[in-house]
Amino acid sequence: AFRLCGAILMLLTIDKPSVFIWSMLYFVTGLIPCAVSVGLVNRELGRWIFKWKFIKAEFLEGFYFSVSQSSQSIYNEIDKTLLASLTTLELAGLYTAAYRFIDFSYAPISGLLISSYANFFRRGADGITGSLAWARKIIPYAAAYGLSAALVLYLISGFIPLVLGSAYNDTTAILRWLAPLIIFKSVELLIANILTGAGYQGIRTAIQLGLAILSSLTAVWLISVSGWLGAVIASLGSSILAVLSFSFAVFILLRKQKAA
């Protein structure tokens, strides 16, 4: 709400907004809710008390979450950025338009992630077996939704030019190639949350940082060779690799816990 109000305020008061102004606006409109949130936590849960050992642990944990979010943003968005710099802005626009349908179809999964997140920590008190048991209850529904959404996206892709205009004819083909992406995205972060809930955020962060580096390098090569198709392949590849990597980490940690 604060960021929406900030964007409207900028629209009304600044004739030619620059990237710097937008960045400062984004910072300030994030700072206010942050201050309110800290105040509410202190009021509801008790006043914060300074303890160096606690602060040190929190900084490390905060660093893991920060790098995790940044890395996730990189391997999710790098294809669009590189497509704009390595091809044409027109092609990047068509690709981004197709990707908006993926983002829109991902909204229910975002809701599922938010509503189920606390339970990963509650169940994760028993280690990886606890958070995995919780994930097994909801991943089948997420996967089923992903399959259904991919099919719907493929079927409706032909109607995009009718809605957006003939300039978006190529978006149809791009969306058909991107459609399977929602299948993997629907389960990717749920599997990652198994690690987070059980206290293995450091491992999750390491995996996501590796994915960010690898996806950036492969995206440069694939886009240079195949244009938007290379961007699709890079995006699909990073999402599939994320699912496999998180699953492998959960499998190894599960074996260790059972052995212990």
pLDDT at 57: 75
Express each pLDDT in 12-32 by its tens digit: 888 888 889 889 998 999 998
Region of 242 on the Ramachandran plot (φ > 0 left; ψ -120 to 50 alpha; else beta): alpha
* % residues pLDDT > 70 (the chain): 100
Express each pLDDT in 90-105 by its tens digit: 889 999 999 999 999 9
- Owner of token pair 């189920």: 116
Would you state the structure tokens that stand for residue 241, as one six-digit string?
A: 């690799």
Q: Sorting pLDDT into bands at 50, 70 and 90, what band is 54? A: confident
pLDDT at 196: 94
Q: Sorting pLDDT into bands at 50, 70 and 90, what band is 168? A: confident
What's the alpha-carbon Rg for the chain, to the nearest Å? Answer: 21
Q: Using CB atoms within 10 A of its CB, is residue 181 exposed (0-12), middle (13-18) or buried (19+)?
A: buried
**To 5 degrees, how large is the angle CA 147–CA 150–CA 152?**
110
- Average pLDDT of the chain to the nearest whole number: 91
* Length, in residues, of the chain: 260
CB neighbour list of residue 122: distance below 8 Å, 6 or more residues apart: 197
CA–CA separation, 24 and 27 (whole Å): 5
* Cβ pair 217, 155 in contact under 8 A: no
| Identity at 120, one-letter amino acid code | F
* Cβ pair 191, 49 in contact under 8 A: no
CB atoms within 10 A of CB 23: 10
